[in-house]
A = this chain, B = another copy of it.
């Protein structure tokens, strides 16, 4: 495991000089978490943020009755909660390890100092925040204006763009989460997700083999994603 390479792989840190990278490496701490271990809770003081070295981390909201909404699942090379260290002093959500994981913990104070030295780093962060804002605004739009099947269609389409494989039958993509987790990422529950998947199968938009989804009718899936009724 070469930490320097890992840090440099993150788009945020692309612009840093060798020396600044070493600085980060110097101020950062490696922390290990077991599967299902809580990393932080909503409301906890945010004195730093995290970069995933290995494993999978779930960031989620919790309702008073215990229902979960998964904001994102992070893997190797991605940063978590970097926005929490500006303004406000607390984490706005929960984070939990889905698998045994190693995280790099980067303390707030030192990082802010680094930020003042490197205007490029600031710009990268601004760009990263702006992307996340975009992502959130899509989530808000979908939750308030669209049905579950439509959100599911969008999810599958995005998945296919990121990791889809062209095959004779259609575009094949692998689900890296359980149906339960997918449901909680779409703002619903597994029963409803199951029924939505069934609808898409019946309409021959997709087919499913274990944890693989094959897109059979891209156009149709896109029209559902954009809100047309099934």
Contact = CB atoms under 8 A, between A and B. Distances in A.
Interface centre among A86, A112, A132, A187 (most CB of B within 10 A): A86
Interface string A122-142: 110111111111101111110
Interface stretch (A28-36, A87-95, A205-213): A87-95
Interface stretch (A2-10, A64-72, A159-167, A194-202): A64-72
A116 interface: yes
A133 B91 CA distance: 11
Nearest to A132: B133
How many copies of the chain does the oligomer comprise? 2
Interface string A49-88: 0000000000001111101010100000000000111111
Contacts of A125: 126
Contacts of A136: 133, 136-137, 140
Nearest to A188: B144
Interface in A84-128: 84-88, 92-93, 112, 115-116, 119, 122-123, 125-128
A130 B87 contact: yes
Given A137-B136, A227-B65, A144 B143 contact: yes
Contacts of A112: 123
Nearest to A228: B64
Contacts of A187: 143-144
A146 interface: yes
Given A123-B116, A130-B88, A140 B65 contact: no
Interface of A: 61-65, 67, 69, 71, 83-88, 92-93, 112, 115-116, 119, 122-123, 125-134, 136-141, 143-146, 187, 226-228
6 contacts: A61-B144, A64-B226, A84-B130, A87-B131, A116-B119, A136-B136
Q: Which 3 A-B pairs have the closest CB atoms?
A: A64-B227, A122-B122, A63-B145
